[in-house]
Structures are given as structure tokens and as C-alpha cells.
Amino acid sequence: MWGWMSDMKPVASVGELLERYAAGQRDFDGINLSRGDLRSARLWHVRLRQALLCRARLAQASLMGGDLSFADLKFGDLRQTQLHTAQLAGADLRFADLRGARLWRTCLRGANLRGSRLEEALLQGTVLQGADLRGADLRHVNLRFTNLEGAFFDQRTRFPPDFDPDWAGMQLSISTSSSGDSGDPSTSVFKRVNGSERSGQGLELLTP
């Protein structure tokens, strides 16, 4: 659809991205805007697949319907960011600040959310299947209609009161390293938390 722009040089700055977006371009796959300031930007239906946005400032930006699959958003500031119906499958959101983010019906399947802050985020209809939520803070979040089947959590994951990860089909990660969790999946054992398996019996080593 945007073939007439296919020969343009790569985006080099936030200002250039906003200028091209205003001109009609939507495909910015693979761009590098790490530490970029996109606060309050309106980028509906933008494509940022595999984009490098580490430590980017996206607070209160609107990325509704966008595709950020496999994007690098580590340590990003996404407070109150509008991401409903967006695609973030496989995205790297480790230690990102997502407090108050609007994530209605957002796909975060297989995303890495280790150590992220999700307090008061809106997750109704959100897909978090197979996501890594080890060390994530999910306090004050309504998870009633959130798909968490197969998502990983550990003893550091913080849930809302009365939330049952067993009922949600989540998997407990137990570090097997004497020095703690190194972040390498091979150093952890994952088990489905249901019924008698809570005692530690029947652990199943998974290869993510």
C-alpha cells in the first residue's frame, strides 16, 4: 500500500517519523528510535514490528491498532499509553513502566514482561498467553477477562488480592540456579500450578 515510499531512507529521528506519518506512511518496521521522545504522539495503526524502542518515552501516546510485534521496548515509559487492539506478540517489555496503560483486547502473546509495572493497567480482553510475567507488578489490575493461559510467573510476581494463577492456567517458574534467576530459561523449571502439583511433585521441564 505504501510502495511509493519504499525507496525512502530510514527514519533517523522522532520528528522525521511524525512527519512521514502525517504524510501517510504507516510502515516503520525495524526503525531505531531508542530513547526517543514520543510522549502524547498519535500514531494509530502504525507498524513498528521489530522496532528498537528501548527506553523510549511513550507516555500517553496513542498507538491504537498498531503492530509492535517483536519490538524492543525494554525500560520504556508507557504510562497511560493507548494500546487497545494493538499487536505486541513477542515484544520485549522487560522492566517497562505500563502503569495505567490501556491494553483492551491487546495481543501480548509470548511477550516478555519480566519486571514490568502494570499497576492499574486496563487488561480486559487482553491476550497474555505464554507471556513472561516473572517479577511483574499486577496489583490493582482487573484480570477477570484476561487470557493468561500458559503465562509464566514466579514468587516475585505481584497479583491483585484473591487472584488465583492456578485458575487462570498460569505456570510457576522455579529457579534452579543457586545464585538466583539468571534470566536464562534453561536455569528455570516451569510447572503448571494445579491441584496436587503445588507440592512440587510432577515438575515438567519446558523448553520455551
Which pLDDT score, from 0 to 100, does residue 190 have?
Answer: 46
Which pLDDT score, from 0 to 100, does residue 8 have?
Answer: 64
Give 10-residue mean pLDDT values along the chain (208 residues): 52 96 98 97 98 98 98 98 98 98 98 98 97 97 96 97 95 68 47 38 32
> b vs e for 12-35, b when ≥16 Cβ sit within 10 Å of the residue's Cβ?
eebebbeebbeeebbbbeebebbe
Which pLDDT score, from 0 to 100, does residue 4 have?
Answer: 38
Tell me the pTM: 0.82
> Rounded to an integer, what distance in angstroms lies between the CA atom of residue 109 and that of residue 117?
17
Which pLDDT score, from 0 to 100, does residue 158 have?
Answer: 97
Please, what are the domains in the chain?
A: 26-208 (2.160.20)
Which pLDDT score, from 0 to 100, does residue 197 have?
Answer: 39
